Structure 1
């Protein structure tokens, strides 16, 4: 019998003890989309539906050892980064990925869904100057755009200005997530020349924990499966929209999106 080996995708992020975001959401997304997920844990959070009660970074040498172990033996067709917490961890990850021949999807995680800070203020400049130039696609929401570029987006017309400011920091593509604007949600993807807009219905569901992690991991998975960037983003958006529609309550706060929605009756 011939065994088919699935494409491999690596996530470098923080662990979410509640299972809705971070490493856990990344691996669930990768499984749902048919790739083999692998993980480098950069931080551990104490987290539930109500928020983040605390987080602890791993030492940079532990993160580098995980990267070397996975990439040196198994390899990856795409890499996704999420919560990196500190300047030292951003520097470590950027250094390891700069020379690695696979697309890198950077989710520049700054705060959690509940508003808890997940990136030290002093790490923002390291993210700008070291990690974003390595990125194939960077996926900031509007708050993260402002954190990275000081550009404040107040309507759909401002999305391209935000994308251009992000592209000046070095990524090949910028996906600006406009879901927090009023009206129908619109995300803008551009490499500075081509431009694509992705729309979706606004869903009446508060259980959206993990959407950013899930979208970035879905893009990485689709790239590993052979899509180009616009196609990968389009298919990732479809997957995330379905997951949001079926988000479910857990605990007393904001529940997660349903990563397994395609498998349920």
Structure 2
């Protein structure tokens, strides 16, 4: 069942695949984010309670969603790397970590900016906010572990263990507003239930969530390609690629 994974253990094949996918992810990310942001900020109606201050959700919610999505993807790649001994999976995890950290930071900053007019303060030790902050620390821990060891195999193993253990924080973030008394509003986007948002607000938000997902993929692919070249700099195909690029 999992034999197809081993075909991408070949760095050259993984590099070619990422190079093929990168333009598609990049162009689609730009298109989706441009449409969703312009629609949400300029054409979506004002909220009857929050006025125009709610519009920050068109950045905050996609960033927060991708902060969790990126962590799950990073932990999954780490698990694959540890179980099936696929080095390229470890490179994927290393590539995702900084991107996920940035998404988490954006979610925290935009959440604070949204919280100020809504709650009267930039920060409270709310369950959702605190668990999201813990997520940022987990990302920083993974990044630090990757950079702390000269032996990259050992670094990937240490960082992978932290990433996998840290997955327990994801359901805490997701369900914190239901498990504990929280200032943070409940989820307004429902998968199996009808959403509580107006379609005029929901559609641009969903478009931006897809756009942020594509952006996450594009930046990860870009970093993954760089990681492959860095880890295989002595391979003949990398030298040939450098010569071709240098000749252009």
With the length of structure 1 as denominator, give the TM-score of the two structures. 0.26
Is the helix fraction higher in 1 or 2? 2
Is the strand fraction higher in 1 or 2? 1
With the length of structure 2 as denominator, give the TM-score of the two structures. 0.27
Q: Is the radius of gyration larger for structure 1 or structure 2?
A: 2
Of structures 1 and 2, the one with the larger relative CO (CA 8 A, separation 6+) is: 2
